[in-house]
A and B are shown apart, each in its own frame.
Chain A
Amino acid sequence: MTIQFVLNELLNIYQRTELKGFDEIDADLADAILQGVADFTTEVMLPLNGSGDVEGCKLVDGKVIAPKGFADAYKQYVDNGWATLTCDPEYGGQGLPECIGVFATEMKTATNMAFAMYPGLTHGAYAAIHAHGSDALKQKYLKKLVSGEWTGTMNLTESHAGTDLALLRTKAVEAGEGRFAISGEKIFISSGDHDLAENIIHLMLARLPDAPEGVKGISLFAVPKIMVNADGSLGEANSLCAAALEHKMGIHGNSTCVMNFDAAIGELIGEPHQGLKAMFTMMNQARLGVGVQGLGVSEIAYQNALAYAKDRIQGRGLSGVKDPSQAADPILVHGDVRRMLMAQKSFNEGARALIGQQALWLDEAERHPDADKAKAANKLAALFTPIVKGFITARGFNAIYADPWHHRSGLDVDSQRSDGA
């Protein structure tokens, strides 16, 4: 389904005026915004997808440098206001519904997932501070995170503690003035360090000295790369660094880092030992985002596969010659190619509808004036969050690495990396 069909005809979002803020949007406004995102992603992000993955990030003298072109593209991204779409107007956001924002994310992911992850993680950090941070923390960090001038990360995983966060060892001790000194090592930190923004706010899980065992003893902290002074200006560098780069297939343009924190100064988000709850605000946002990533890469794989199937000529159609002007017919005439393409197309359209519905439930949960309806929508969103994440990414993976290989004859294995298929 095209995005407009989902928003306008399937979900009827422009008739949902009972939802706070929905009366301020109409199809023309949404179309204009989404077209702007489409233009930016196609003209600026897509050309950097292949080169960014081939070049990858570099760790030089303890600092990570993103691939050529990423910093300029990110500046344009921030200057154009694309970071602010769904954020709270109180902090400089545009207040657009999630059901529109997810499709901006789909286009960003489809054209350059590595690049899209820099603002993607930032949005998760924004959501956690917005939901659980003190007023002082919000004032300190949110405007810069919303504008995209600063980026965010989420620091959960340690080398011995991935899914089982009860095992995590990173420690936080009081350092006076409501601050904490945090020490430990985190791995797989997406956008952990880079040269796109002047500051990075790390949201990280750690244990206080009196913490109970297990997940009930985890607290969440905001730890800036560069300390922020009372007047909002930047101060000294915090005691943290990227110790190494990790290399994730297909997203070498995103800086996946091993991060070392050596008594780095941070502030508590929410209550002590309630970090997992606060982090799950970010995780649910991230899980929906991951489902959208599955759709985005599956969609661009489909578009590339379709173009190839129309162009590549091999053999003749079973029912006779389809294109006598050529030595063979386009492979689109062959039944199995049609099956693979339609399987991919129909899956993508179904996934897009489900993602739109999931995002609309999240909007209802936040914006519906009837508390019971808001609660019901929240329950549906909670039920579908793991389905959106797990199912769509699993199929999205197949769409990229299984079916397209059949009809692209394995070309992707070799050098066809820049088109995203």
Chain B
Amino acid sequence: MWTRSAVTALESGTEDKAFYERKLKTAQFYMSYWTVQTRSLRKQVESSSELMTQLEEADFDL
């Protein structure tokens, strides 16, 4: 979606240049801030799921 948005912004950015530049900057920020988190989140899910199933009820006690 973001790629499509950026391409659209690049292609359309003549009528309201500032608007489309904001779209590009927002897309750039999303990629650098949010998208990079997907790797660590995937790792978190994959590495912890096996341990989750191995936990005993008593393991939750203090």
Contact = CB atoms under 8 A, between A and B. Distances in A.
B5 A353 contact: yes
Interface stretch (A86-94, A282-290, A341-349, A372-380): A341-349
The dominant DSSP class at the B interface is helix
Interface string B27-41: 101100110000000
B8 A350 contact: no
Nearest to A2: B19
Given A5-B23, A342-B26, A345-B26, A10 B33 contact: no
A336 to B, nearest CB: 13
Contacts of B43: none
A10 B9 CA distance: 9
A343 B5 contact: no
B1 A350 contact: yes
B1 A354 contact: yes
B33 A343 contact: yes
Interface residues of A, number: 15
A177 interface: no
Nearest to A339: B33
Contact of A347 (B1, B4, B19, B34): B34
A357 interface: yes
A346 B1 contact: no
B29 A342 contact: yes
Contact of B33 (A1, A346, A353): A346
B26 A9 contact: no
A346 B33 CA distance: 9
A346 B34 contact: yes
A357 B1 contact: yes
B41 to A, nearest CB: 11
B23 A1 contact: yes
A10 B29 contact: no
Contacts of B27: 346
The dominant DSSP class at the A interface is helix
A65 B4 CA distance: 47
A10 B1 contact: yes
A343 B26 CA distance: 9
Interface string B16-30: 000100010011011
A347 B12 CA distance: 22
A9 B8 contact: yes
A350 B30 contact: yes
B9 to A, nearest CB: 8
B35 to A, nearest CB: 10
B34 A9 contact: no
A1 B26 CA distance: 9
B6 to A, nearest CB: 10
Contacts of B30: 346-347, 349-350
Contacts of A5: 5, 8, 19, 23
Contacts of A346: 26-27, 29-30, 33-34
B33 A342 contact: yes
Nearest to A343: B33
B14 to A, nearest CB: 12
Given A350-B1, A350-B2, A343 B34 contact: yes
Given A342-B26, A346-B29, A10 B4 contact: yes
Contacts of B23: 1, 5, 349
A344 B5 CA distance: 17
Contact of B34 (A1, A350, A354, A357): A350
Contacts of A354: 1
Contacts of B5: 1, 5, 10, 349, 353
Nearest to B30: A346
Contacts of A357: 1
Interface string A1-43: 1000100011000000000000000000000000000000000
22 contacts: A1-B23, A5-B5, A5-B8, A5-B19, A9-B8, A10-B4, A10-B5, A339-B33, A342-B29, A343-B29, A343-B33, A345-B26, A346-B30, A346-B33, A347-B30, A347-B34, A349-B26, A349-B30, A350-B1, A350-B2, A350-B34, A353-B2
Minimum-distance CB pairs A-B, first 4 = A346-B30, A353-B1, A9-B8, A346-B29
Given A342-B26, A345-B26, A350-B1, 10 more contacts: A5-B5, A5-B19, A5-B23, A9-B8, A10-B1, A10-B4, A346-B27, A346-B33, A353-B2, A357-B1
